[in-house]
Each structure stands twice: as structure tokens, then as C-alpha cells.
Structure 1
């Protein structure tokens, strides 16, 4: 037993001696090794990135410290990318022996990182290219292992103690400039404190980041706010993307990063106060979110990435439970679930972001509701798409309307279309207008044709058609663009009467909510909604409603229209101002228009909306006789051809 212990002690002594020898050798030869490493990096940067790296002085300080002076990185024939006057750092020797670079301390004084783009030439473009030697393996990536490895490497490069003075980041994108000047950044005893000056072409501010950061234990809790009065403005994006945004403060908390059982868990929260966004694609006004918080739990496995359903999104008084996942174990599957627990309808309305739902301002509601959304898309089986949207309500009703008074549909009102921000002429929807046509005085053929082309299930749905949404999503994903919508007559009616034609997120969200309220509170009957629709929709250049349209095209009353005329009017609804392209220079329908007509006729016949007797209309040609005829590009006939004597060959034919 004693002999065994002696052997163990002897082995330990030998190991200690070896470590000491290695340490001494490293100490004496470290400067040479450092110069060799810098020379190797310089050659690599020159060959692979066509850039010059120079370091005027590089020496060791103490056992694990390195001091570098006058560092520059300059892409060939382009603006200098990085300059640093002085940088000192230390590394964890034991981690280095295990092959990991882990910074202990970092000190930077007087540095500049400059990103420039002149025309299409960027001084940083070479460093964005993929490594030529990077493996092109077709094996599936282990998301948990990959993410944990990246996070660990990044956090290892965050020093436990840091002191940065006068480090500026400058961006010049063809004259669009932004400078973030870090006057001071100190991390000491896990306490982070900064002083930052921001300068752009449009504003100047002073920012501060303060909080707790522990990179070795993978925890942080920092707050970002403005030292001056007013909100923090986001630089560069206003000039580059026309996105004006600001906020009072942001807080980011990282509570846990842990990998166990093949899964990676990331837990924490992020919050923002008084976020203000202005962009023409979002809304016409500033959109303001007073308080928002995201309590997140990210889960990553070998073949999936997800936001766990225990995560929450808080938007004022609205609290959502989201689930989002990407899984490629067998097929590539995207999944989204959203659960909104029971809440008071009034709390929901009052929590909507200001500026995003202007037509809801002043609206009051009673009752409660809850909502669930389930979406699943399998890339390999696109037609099996799942889209289930379910809202349950209890005593839900509108007690006071806001700006959009849906009840006006039941009475006489003035309709004015807005096209490209221009208010069009007023159209009276009511019996005092001689062109107004009650539903029962509109040809049944037209009612059937328009319902077939625009909304076959209008009288049975409640504003939305889930199956249409599903087919729209599938086609848009397949074509990778918005090539098909799922708009119902109810949605078109709300858009025309209460909203504008602007293509903004605000308008679309308002449309969805207003349609739901209109249809599910039975504010107007289906017959009245259809009647209003027929009397306001655009049917040609400055032509609104079926009363004007029937005269404009055929010099008839709506009740007198035959099937062929009704099929034509139904088909031009999507693009009424381009109706003239349906005709050739002889005034007859072009081949593509005839094909559309036949297709629509066949559908209506199969659905039992037409009979064989109805289709006798095919014996005559569609004839435009009203003012619309002046828009057709007709070929002028030569009178000499009419008066000339036919040739023998013509008689023979």
C-alpha cells in the first residue's frame, strides 16, 4: 500500500516538474512565439482577405498578459477598417492549454472601427465572405451543440474585467453617417457601466448602458437608456430604410444558459418602454407601444430550434403564450402556436398600440374572450398545411363605436373612395341617389356571377374563410411572394367604406378586427352588406356602383343586364380601370377574355347556378354601347374598302 502511494507521489512530482519546465520554456520563448503567431496572422489576412495587418509593438507583460501598440487593419486600396493605439489583454493559461482562448482582462485606448460603402464598394466586404476551406458537409447540424459552442466561444472572448476609453464605431453608407463613440466602458467585479456619444446626420445623443454581467457564469442583466432628455433614437435606419424609431429604455436579462441531455436551454427576458416606430409600410402615424416584455425560453436540440410555450409576450395588458419551432428530424416542419388566455375585451382594446389601430380609438366593449392559433407547414408536404384560428367569446359586444362606426352601413351615408391619397367624388348610398340600386333590382345573373368570382360562401361564413387562408398561404410560400390573397366581400366592404387602400400593416390589422366585429355582432344583415357592396365598388374610371356601371357599359338598368354582360362585369372587378384591354381593335373580346368567360360559365353550371337554358346567351356577341366605348382602341375602317367592287377571288371564297 505504501509502495503504491509512493508511486503516485512520484508521478505527481514528475508532472509538476514537466509543467514547470514547460512554463519556463514558454516564459523564455514566448516573445518569439508571439511574433511568429502575428506573422502567421498577417500573411493569412493578406492572402485570404487582401488586407494589411500591422502591429508596431507586441510584447508579453507578466506571465499571461499581452500588450499591443498601434494596430491597423486596412483592406488593399480601401479605407482603413480598424485602428487601435493601445490594447492590453490577458488570457487564462489553463484554458489555453485545453485549446480554448479565454480573456481575463481587456484594456483599449483610442481606437476606431470604420465601415464605409462608396457606391457598391465596401471596405469590409472581404471579411463577410465564407472561408474557402470551410467544410461543405451535407450532414445535419446538431443545433444544440453548435449554438453552445458558439455562445461559449463568444463569452470566453468577453473579459471578466474591461476598461475601454475612446473607442468609436463609424459608419458611412454613401453619405448616410452614424458614429457611436464609446467614451468609457468599464466592467469591474461584474458591474458594467458605460458612457456613449452618438452622432448622425440628423441627431446627437448621449447613451448609457448599466447593469450586471458575468460572462463566465453566462449571466447578465443590463439596461440601456438615454442620459439626455427625450427618448433614445435609433441611428442610421431613418436615413437608410426610412424607419424612424425610438424608445425610453431597453432591459436585457440572461438568467440561464445550460446544456444537458442533448438540449440547450436559454432563459431570461427582454423589455422595452415607449417604443415608437414610424414607417410608411407600417402605418400613417407614429406607432407607440408603451410597455412590452418578452420572457423567453429557447430550446435547441440536435434537430430542432424552438421558443417554448412557457415563454410569454406581454403587450400592455395583453399576454400571449407563443410556441415557435423549426424541426428537420424527418421532414422540414415549421410550427407556430399562439394562445391568448381569457381577458376582458375592453382591456384588449385599450392595450392596442397607439397609431396602429386609429379606427378603434374611443371604442368600448363588454364581455371576455380567448384566442388560439395553430399553424403547421411541412416543406415536403405543403398541401397538408394546418391553419386553425379559434376565438371563443362570452357576452362579447360593442357598447360604443370608435372612429369607424360600423352601424352606418344600415342607413344612408356618403361614400368617398381614396385612391393614392386623393379623395374621390362623393357617392350617396341611399334612395336619394338615382343611381342607387336596391339588391332586388340587380340582375340575379350579376349577383350569382359576382359571388362566384369574389366570395362563393359569402352567405355562410363570418367574414373569413379558413380554407381560403390556407390555400393562399400555401401558394404564397410556394411562389415566395404575395401572389394570392384571401379577401372576402366582407373584407372588401370594410376596406372600402371605413379604411383606405394603403398597403400598410395597420390597415390590414384593422381590416381583420373590424370584419370580425361586423360579422360576429350581426351589425348589418348579409343582404344589406351585399347591397352596399354593389353600390360602392369601383367598376371603371370614376365609375362607382352598379347603377353607374350598367349605364357606362351597356346603357341599361341593372335589372336588364343579360348573363353575358353580368359575366363581363364580374370579371373586371379586380382591375376595372383596365377593362379596355379585354377587347381587340374590332371591339370584340380577346381570346383570353373569352377563355375566362367560359371558365366562369362552367364553374357556375357545375354549381347549379346556371342551366342549359341560361347559356343561350352565347348566340350573341358582347357589345359595349355606352360611354365606355370611347375607351376602346378600335380600328378605323377605310371607307374605300367598303365602296370597292369585290374581286373574283373573293366571290370564290
Structure 2
């Protein structure tokens, strides 16, 4: 009688034999199984994606290797998606048994993958279809689990050893063509070496990529270099988005990808040297950042995606810690925090990117500062928006001005408005100009009306109004475009005197920084700033300053303007060249214009800026007695439709 030990040994032998038989059977019939698998893929491609998939020859090599030739995928009535002449690969047999594909080696010779968009459509359109089961599911996505699954699958498809010769990735977007040809790629013993040739409609370039790559342990350290002279240009985006960009080198390092405690951590850093970007919406010149580095930690949970505050961004000598998150636990919430630790003001100025802050070139400063920004927007509760900007300074002082010499405001100077990059006629801002009007000679009514409509807290703020920024952000989010700014009179003054009217990120950033310097270093008094403002702003077509405006509209001195006339002048400040569309064909104010002025006067009454006696005679019709009256007659004769800027719309204060 067999003992228990003998029975266990016998059972083990039987299981081993059965397993061996299965392995032998699989080995014997593996080519048939391979052909069956290819047939299934071909059927699925035709059924689900209306595409023809074919492989001319397919066979096993050794125990786990597969050799394929002429692998082609062609969507019907569209350009070929890919065509690979020769490919050899091996898979991890044991992981394959549990349904997980993990490539061991990969060799590719001669082939291409191409994405085409033309009049016939996109050759990849069918593959963009969403899975209906996923689309219709109400189950909330777990960001950490989803991202980790995708990353793991992608990295498992990256072989540990790879050899590629002459593989091209082609992109044709309505004639904007880009070809990235991997002339040679080697990944051996975790060391990566790649030579790439990039060709576009406008340039040809050779790039070298080398470094360390360990897909199984989810680590990499890769660098990009130009093999030719000059910087590496970014293909496609120039032709597609009118964004020119280049760099000398890039380094990307992935130190850790780990999922624990329900959270996914992705740690590493990226650095770039001599990054150049040029786009009409960014700046009128090339913007250059000499050295930049991003030490990142991405955190993903079941209901949030974030850049952790332990991350650090550095460019030149500026260093700050960003925090960015997208949360969906109960409401959809966006958060942004920026913390710049204590640093020298001069280091900050000298580190500003070339081309982005041209008016700061040559500026010198003393002292230190630190800065914190806290922003939060709840999509379901927009009125709870948080916008808190806080700068702490320590002996901060500007010792030398750059191109924008703010002391200019305290003396006589020549002002020239620039409209559509065209300088307008020169206007002397000073007593030598007979139309120049000192503040004490401007009607108090006009001062009160303009301050109420443009900047009620001008004499108390330091250049910015946080609440105005919040309301501006809210409206821009609701309209999904930049439909409202938050300009104070200080900001309008800086924009007019020192900057251009170009709508670029550069101009707006310079405006913010110059306003801060102007207001917080008390370079000019509030009264002087307001006086210059009244004498430079545009009040009509080729009409600059209140001295010209009071004559143009009413043939009066600014001191003699009535409340009715001042209300009119205040309400046309946002669109002075369109003033004539406030009048009907008989030269009378339209109802919407009267309502704007009535709203403004009632607001001033409620705030105690006016008293009821001030409004006596306000019902008397407004009479344009100056040259402006002739433009009303031209408007009646003009058959050109009113443009979108001249439509009747509510006035905002």
C-alpha cells in the first residue's frame, strides 16, 4: 500500500506529464494557432473598423519568437495606416498564459506608420470610436487605477531589447507634412541609442536620442541632441498652429512609477536648454528661456489628478513650487497654487525670459521678495471662486529703470498712440500744449463719472482690485473666451504710455509688473496719474485728451462741462470711436444710451458721489455742438452696416 508521500509524488508526476503534453501539443500546433489568431484579428478589423489587415508570412522562431513579413493595415477608401516589411519579436510565454502580453525582443526592418487627413477624411477615424459600453456606463472612473493600467500595458509592449532600421512615422494634415524616420534604433542592456531624420515642408534635421531605458522597472533617463548645427526645431506645430519653437537639448528622467495606498506616484524631472517660442499671441519677438527644469511629482487618486506641491519649476534663477489639481470627489474643482520662496529682486529681473519682458531690460533692483498665489474654481459653485495674490517684500527698491522709465510720468513727454502697429500723431503731454488740462481745471463731474465707471477705488488701491479679477475670471470662464478684463486706471495708463495695444501674453504680463512697480514705489502721485490719464486717453476718432474732447463734442473748456455731458463722455470711454452709434438719425440719443447714463447717475447718487440737486436739468436733450455733430450726418449717409463692436449692449461698471 502506497504511503501519502508516494501518492503526492505520483500526483506531481501526473500533473507534470499532463503539463508537458500540453506544452508539446501547443508547440506542435503553434503555427496553426498563430494563423488562427491572425484570422481573428483580420475579422475583427474588418467587422469593427472597416479595415483590411493582412500578414503575408507568419511563423514561430525558437520557443517564443515570432517572425512576420508584410504586415499591412488599410482602412477601406482611405490611405494605408501602416505597412511593415519585416518584424521579429518574442513574448514572455508565462505571462502570455495569464493573458498578459509582454514583449521581450523586437526587430523591425523597413516600414511606415502614417496618419493622413485630407478631403476624403482621416485614415484613422474608425479607430477613434469610443467603446459604447464605456460611454454608457455611469461608473465613476478611478484615475489612479486607469492610468496605472494604461502605463503598465504600454510599457509591457516596449521590449527589453530592440533593433529598428528605417521605420518612418508620417503625418499629412491637409498638406502639412512631417516625416520622422528612425534610421537606427538600438535598445540593448537598457542602453538606448537612436538616430532620427525629421523632414517637414520647411526643414530637414537629424536628431540623436540616447540614454537609459528600463521598461520593466518603469525607469528611464533619455536625452535629445541635434546632430547638425543649430537648435532642434519642433516639427508640424509651426505649420499647423503658427507656433515656431526650438531647443538645444532636452532631458527626460522617470525615477519612479508606483501605485500604493490607492494612489499613483510618478516622479522624475525634465530639463531643457535654450527653449525658443514665437507666436503672435505670446509676444511680438522670439521668447527665449536659457535653462529650465521641472522636478515633478504627479499624484493620481481615485477622484483627483494633481501636480504635487513638492514639485519645483526652475528657469534661470527663478524657482517656484506649483500645485495644480483637478478633483471630482463631490464637485468638479480646479485648484492652482504658486509659491515663490524668498529671492533677490535682481535675480528675478535678470531671469525674466528674453523677448517676453523687453521693457525690463536694463532694470536694476535691490531687496528681496516672496510671492504666493491661491486660486480655486468650483464648477458647480462658481461664486465661491478664490483668487488670492500676495507679495511680501523686504527693502524692495528699483534703483535703475529699463526701457520703460516710469519717472517719465512726472514731466512733459510726447505721447503717440499705436493702433494696429501704426504710430498715431504725436500729442505733447504738458503745459506747452494749449489743449493740456491740469486736473484742477477738469470738471469735478467728469472726474467723478469716469472714476465711477472705470475705477471707483482708484485712490485707495495699489494698482489691482482682487474682486475685479475674480469677476473677470468668472465671466471669461462662463463665456469660454476673454470677454472681460479687470483693468484699473493705473493699468490703462501703463498700457497707453509705455506699451502697445497688441493682445499678447507678453504685453499683459509687462503691464501687471510695471503697474506694481509704479504703484508700490510711489513713483507718481495718484493725482498726477489721473491727470495724465485724462490727457492721453482716446475720446473719439483722432481725439486725444479731455482738452480736445470737450471742444470736439461741446465747444467748451473741460471745466465748464455739465453733468449730462460728463455722463456721455464717461460712457463712451470703452469705445470712443463708435460714439455716433449712440445717436439716431435725428441726432438724439438712443434709448439704450440714455439708460446707460441714467444707470451711472443713479449709481453715483446711491453712493453719495452726487446729490439730487446735481441732477437738475438732466432731462434736457444732449446737444453736440462741436465737430462731432458732422460725424452724425456722415453716419446717416453711410450705408455700411454697423459692426459688432457698435451693437447696443449693457454697460458694465
TM-score w.r.t. structure 1 length?
0.95
**Pairwise mapping of residues 110-259 of structure 1 onto structure 2 (< 5 A)?**
110-119=110-119, 121-259=121-259
> Matched residues in 2 for 1:635 and 1:67: separation?
79
> Matched residues in 2 for 1:176 and 1:411: separation?
54
The answer to whether the Cα contact below 8 Å between 2:338 and 2:374 also exists between their aligned partners in 1 is yes
SS of aligned partner of 1:613 = helix
SS of aligned partner of 2:186 = strand
> Matched residues in 2 for 1:635 and 1:141: separation?
59
**Pairwise mapping of residues 46-85 of structure 1 onto structure 2 (< 5 A)?**
46-85=46-85
State the 1:22 CA deviation: 2.1
413-422 or 611-620: bigger deviation: 611-620
149-158 or 615-624: bigger deviation: 615-624
Name the counterpart of 2:520.
Answer: 520
Deviation track 1:517-540 (CA, whole Å, cap 9, x = no partner) reads 000000000000000000000110
> Matched residues in 1 for 2:248 and 2:520: separation?
39
The answer to whether the Cα contact below 8 Å between 2:563 and 2:618 also exists between their aligned partners in 1 is no
Name the counterpart of 1:42.
Answer: 42
State the 1:229 CA deviation: 1.1
The answer to whether the Cα contact below 8 Å between 1:232 and 1:248 also exists between their aligned partners in 2 is yes
Name the counterpart of 1:354.
Answer: 354
> Matched residues in 1 for 2:635 and 2:259: separation?
77
> Matched residues in 2 for 1:19 and 1:214: separation?
33
40-49 or 311-320: bigger deviation: 40-49
**Pairwise mapping of residues 455-474 of structure 1 onto structure 2 (< 5 A)?**
455-474=455-474
> Matched residues in 2 for 1:225 and 1:16: separation?
54
Name the counterpart of 1:645.
Answer: none
Name the counterpart of 2:505.
Answer: 505
128-137 or 178-187: bigger deviation: 128-137
Judged with a 3 Å threshold, the aligned counterparts in structure 2 of structure 1 residues 8 and 339 are, in CA distance, closer, same or farther, namely farther
Name the counterpart of 2:379.
Answer: 379
State the 1:124 CA deviation: 1.8
> Matched residues in 2 for 1:26 and 1:539: separation?
87
> Matched residues in 2 for 1:135 and 1:587: separation?
60
> Matched residues in 2 for 1:71 and 1:464: separation?
63
Q: Does 1:412 align with 2:434?
A: no
Deviation track 1:163-218 (CA, whole Å, cap 9, x = no partner) reads 00000112222222111111001100000001111111211111011000000000
Deviation track 1:568-592 (CA, whole Å, cap 9, x = no partner) reads 0000011111001000011111111
User: May I ask how many residue pairs the two structures share in their alignment?
Assistant: 636
> Matched residues in 2 for 1:470 and 1:58: separation?
63
316-325 or 129-138: bigger deviation: 129-138
Name the counterpart of 2:271.
Answer: 271
Q: Does 1:604 align with 2:597?
A: no
State the 1:562 CA deviation: 0.3
The answer to whether the Cα contact below 8 Å between 2:580 and 2:635 also exists between their aligned partners in 1 is no
> Matched residues in 1 for 2:540 and 2:147: separation?
57
43-52 or 290-299: bigger deviation: 43-52
Judged with a 3 Å threshold, the aligned counterparts in structure 2 of structure 1 residues 348 and 634 are, in CA distance, closer, same or farther, namely closer
172-181 or 571-580: bigger deviation: 172-181
Judged with a 3 Å threshold, the aligned counterparts in structure 2 of structure 1 residues 446 and 11 are, in CA distance, closer, same or farther, namely farther
The answer to whether the Cα contact below 8 Å between 1:580 and 1:633 also exists between their aligned partners in 2 is no
State the 1:635 CA deviation: 9.6
The answer to whether the Cα contact below 8 Å between 1:539 and 1:577 also exists between their aligned partners in 2 is yes
> Matched residues in 1 for 2:316 and 2:233: separation?
22
> Matched residues in 1 for 2:362 and 2:10: separation?
85
SS of aligned partner of 2:618 = helix
The answer to whether the Cα contact below 8 Å between 2:73 and 2:80 also exists between their aligned partners in 1 is yes
The answer to whether the Cα contact below 8 Å between 1:587 and 1:634 also exists between their aligned partners in 2 is no
State the 1:5 CA deviation: 4.8
State the 1:42 CA deviation: 1.1
Name the counterpart of 2:572.
Answer: 572
SS of aligned partner of 2:612 = coil
SS of aligned partner of 2:435 = coil
> Matched residues in 1 for 2:37 and 2:256: separation?
36
State the 1:9 CA deviation: 4.0
> Matched residues in 1 for 2:459 and 2:552: separation?
29
Name the counterpart of 2:345.
Answer: 345
> Matched residues in 2 for 1:126 and 1:554: separation?
67
Name the counterpart of 1:590.
Answer: 590
> Matched residues in 1 for 2:469 and 2:248: separation?
38
SS of aligned partner of 1:469 = helix
State the 1:377 CA deviation: 1.1
> Matched residues in 2 for 1:586 and 1:320: separation?
61
The answer to whether the Cα contact below 8 Å between 1:208 and 1:227 also exists between their aligned partners in 2 is yes
> Matched residues in 2 for 1:457 and 1:230: separation?
52
> Matched residues in 2 for 1:356 and 1:416: separation?
22
> Matched residues in 1 for 2:305 and 2:172: separation?
36
> Matched residues in 1 for 2:597 and 2:5: separation?
99
State the 1:79 CA deviation: 1.6
State the 1:21 CA deviation: 2.2
Judged with a 3 Å threshold, the aligned counterparts in structure 2 of structure 1 residues 11 and 305 are, in CA distance, closer, same or farther, namely farther
State the 1:115 CA deviation: 1.9
> Matched residues in 1 for 2:249 and 2:10: separation?
61
The answer to whether the Cα contact below 8 Å between 2:360 and 2:403 also exists between their aligned partners in 1 is yes
Name the counterpart of 2:486.
Answer: 486
476-485 or 444-453: bigger deviation: 476-485
> Matched residues in 1 for 2:469 and 2:56: separation?
64
Please, which runs of 5 or more residues in structure 2 have no aligned partner?
Answer: 638-653
Deviation track 1:272-296 (CA, whole Å, cap 9, x = no partner) reads 0000111111111110000000000
SS of aligned partner of 1:199 = strand
Name the counterpart of 1:537.
Answer: 537
> Matched residues in 2 for 1:195 and 1:386: separation?
49
State the 1:35 CA deviation: 1.2
> Matched residues in 2 for 1:332 and 1:81: separation?
38
State the 1:78 CA deviation: 1.8
> Matched residues in 1 for 2:296 and 2:461: separation?
37
SS of aligned partner of 1:56 = strand
> Matched residues in 1 for 2:447 and 2:17: separation?
97
Q: Does 1:628 align with 2:631?
A: no
> Matched residues in 2 for 1:42 and 1:120: separation?
24
Please, which runs of 5 or more residues in structure 1 have no aligned partner?
Answer: 638-653
Q: Over aligned residues, Cα RMSD in angstroms?
A: 1.5
Name the counterpart of 2:641.
Answer: none
9-18 or 370-379: bigger deviation: 9-18
Judged with a 3 Å threshold, the aligned counterparts in structure 2 of structure 1 residues 570 and 300 are, in CA distance, closer, same or farther, namely same
